[in-house]
Structure 1
Amino acid sequence: MIGSIDEVVIDCAQPAALAAFWAQVLGGEPVGRDDAWWYVVPPGWTQLSFQKVPEAKAVKNRVHLDVRVRDIEAATAQAEALGARRVGAVHQDRAGSFQVLLDPEGNEWCVVKPA
């Protein structure tokens, strides 16, 4: 083993706004180190940080977050009320169900309900 995860960092244009969004999705409080670096520590998980970068998001994420929920439709509606956008319909397979969403800056993530 080389090490352990210290934090997950998301590049973005507006760190404070994205930290506030994810704090509402996952819990915890948004904390600013400075204008270019904000973070939230969701209960029971590692620190999720937001780093300001000059370039805009251009392509699909290579890594995304799956957020476990009890009710896909209810969670999707709550996320949309916070500024998320739905992508397509709910997907179902042997592993369970999931809905792809975009956060306010267009980063893909999913609400998931395991089988």
Structure 2
Amino acid sequence: MATVKQFQVTFDCADPEQLAHFWCEVLGYVVPPQSGAAADCDRVWCACTDPTGAGPRLLFQRVPEGKVVKNRVHLDVRVGTGLVGAERLVALRAECDRLALLGAMCVRVMIADGNNESCIVMQDIEGNEFCLD
């Protein structure tokens, strides 16, 4: 039987520190304190972690090219877990409004259709797509 492995999610970006701090605000993560050569934030990359240790580490690395196409992988921020209908949509829209104040952009609100519950497609401050689910 395979063993469970820890993993991190890595984002290519233009400004690692700014994007790490954005995602810290979204997820309640933290940028660990600086510690010399092992620092979790420098000019080339910046990491943020779940202070509870439950979620994966996120790493943001500077790359020279900009984003040109839709993400092949995206994060679903689980805001409406256990909620349905109007109650779910209210929770999703409230989180959308909060994240818009941080610089995120709402791309599309997808209303429940009988097969799927509502979700909101957004972009972070560098245009990476993610969903409020």
TM range (shorter): 0.7 to 0.9
Structure 1 residue 2: deviation in Å? 8.4
User: Pairwise CA RMSD of aligned residues?
Assistant: 1.7
1:59 to 52, 55, 69: 69
Unaligned runs of 5+ in 2: 33-39, 81-90
Could you tell me the TM-score, scaled by structure 2's length? 0.77
Map residues 91-102 of structure 1 onto 2, 5 A cutoff. Answer: 91-93=111-113, 94-102=115-123
Could you tell me the TM-score, scaled by structure 1's length? 0.88
In structure 2, the residue matched to 1:18 is 19
In structure 1, the residue matched to 2:100 is 80
2:17–2:41 CA contact under 8 A, matched in 1: no
Larger radius of gyration: 2
AA paired with 1:104? I
Percent identity between matched residues is 41
- 3-state SS in 2 of match to 1:50: strand
More strand by share: 1
Give the length in aligned residue pairs: 112
In structure 1, the residue matched to 2:83 is none
- 3-state SS in 2 of match to 1:39: strand
1:60–1:108 CA contact under 8 A, matched in 2: yes
More helix by share: 2
Structure 1 residue 29: deviation in Å? 1.4
